[in-house]
Amino acid sequence: MKKLFLASFVAYSIDKLIAAFKLVPQNLTVAFVPTAGGTYPEEKRGFVAEDRGKLVEKGFKVKDVDLKGKTKDELMEESKGVDIIFVAGGNTFYLLEKAKESGFDELAKCLVGKGVIYVGSSAGAALAGPDIEPVGPLDDPSKAPNLKSTKGLGLVNFVILPHWGKEKFKERYEKVMKRYGKSGYKLIKITDEQAVVVEGNKYNIV
């Protein structure tokens, strides 16, 4: 049964992750994918470090797995023995571009099918849906000049829209809802403290 935890900011909701799947962090290895943060200057990637830091703080064994410049075979090797794939935040379009270039899009589906838990934070959460197109007004598609398709991983049939309710995203969210509110995409808006827990074909917001 597939298991996913899709959040705006896992650092703020990590206790919900542990509780949702009754995890024992000390027994689990996490493949931490920081790739989406690569479009930001280093001094502005604090959100990625915060997510990673929380995992370490809770006792998870964390290994970094960057998608940039990797092949699918290399990623398969790096992902051996992991219990959780954690895809951190940043630019969703850049993340998808690197996921497709590296074969991570296929690998992630394979691993989730084998019982590995997929955890997505912000961009990582949006990536799990059928398409990232509705995220456009919240993000900067120009950061992924080689991206040919906005089709996501398709692990769930809805699109996560993170950071709902934050003042700085207010105007961008108005654009999203105006453009995609009646588009046929199933949109789920979550605040920084919320997450969507998926087990099999069922999900609930925590």
142 annotated active-site: no
163 annotated active-site: yes
Determine the Cα–Cα distance for residues 192 and 3; give it in Å rounded to an integer.
20
Dig out the tokens for 119 from the structure: 């955890």
Q: Which member of 8, 102, 121, 163 is catalytic?
A: 163
Dig out the tokens for 204 from the structure: 């609930």
Which helix (H) or strand (E) segment holds residue 41: the answer is none
First to last CA, the chain: 19
Determine the Cα–Cα distance for residues 151 and 37; give it in Å rounded to an integer.
20
Determine the Cα–Cα distance for residues 134 and 127; give it in Å rounded to an integer.
11
Q: Which member of 8, 121, 122, 142 is catalytic?
A: 122
What number of H helices and E strands is found in the chain?
A: 7, 9
Q: CA 109, 56, 102 angle in degrees (round to 5)?
A: 30
Q: How many CB atoms lie within 10 A of CB 114?
A: 8
- Return the active site residues: 122, 163
